[in-house]
Structure 1
Amino acid sequence: MEYSYPINLDWSKDEMATVINFYQAVEKAYEVGIDTSEIKVKYSDFKQVVRSIGEEKSLGKEFEKASGYSAYRVMQLVKNATTSKIKMQP
């Protein structure tokens, strides 16, 4: 797929990379599956950059609009997971 990740141009390169890594983990959850521990770490790192819930929701909506993948739905599945790996159903 060809789309841009939603980022804030005020972030440092490391912060941008952290946010992109989280969105790539969301993509992985849809495409091939991901270990819950892996995505929890990426989400924790993401929250160090995107601290406000409002900004997280806004970025999440932009990402979903561009990619069709919902970071919110992935994290809800992770939160309720009873297995060590998840894969989103289309």
Structure 2
Amino acid sequence: MKDEVNIPISADWSKEEVIDVVNFFEMVDQAYSKGAEKEVLGALYKRYKEIVPSKSEEKQAFKEYEKQTGQSPYHTVKKARESEERIIKM
């Protein structure tokens, strides 16, 4: 992950929720760098959806993250869902 990435978070979230969201975006980054376990990525995305249930908020956050990093959380999650592989590598 680039040094100066502003992960899209909300001031309304608890400390635990912020940590969970950061963990999800770090797993997306890991999928691009060395590969991420499909099960872990899926669990982190599920938790992310509990924190950010709104599809429009999710799209906005993913777009913001992708603009900064060049990494697509949407395509990473999509590949994890469709892949038979245990490790997701973007």
TM-score interval for Structure 1 and Structure 2 normalised by the shorter chain? over 0.9
Pairing 1:43–2:75 present: no
Which of 59, 76, 79 is 2:78 aligned to?
A: 76
1:79 CA displacement: 1.1
Instruction: Number of aligned residue pairs: give it.
Output: 88
| TM superposition score normalised by structure 1 | 0.93
Can you give the 5+ residue segments of structure 2 that lack an aligned partner in the other structure? none
Counterpart of 1:86? 88
User: Between the two proteins, what is the percent identity of the paired residues?
Assistant: 35
Residue correspondence of structure 1 range 9-48 to structure 2 within 5 A? 9-48=11-50
Displacement over 4 Å in runs of 4+: none
1:86 CA displacement: 1.2
Which whole-Å deviations, capped at 9, do the CAs of 1:49-79 have from their partners, x for residues lacking one?
0011111101000111111110001011011
Counterpart of 2:69? 67
CA distance in 2, matches of 1:45, 1:28: 17
| Aligned alpha-carbon RMSD (Å) | 0.8
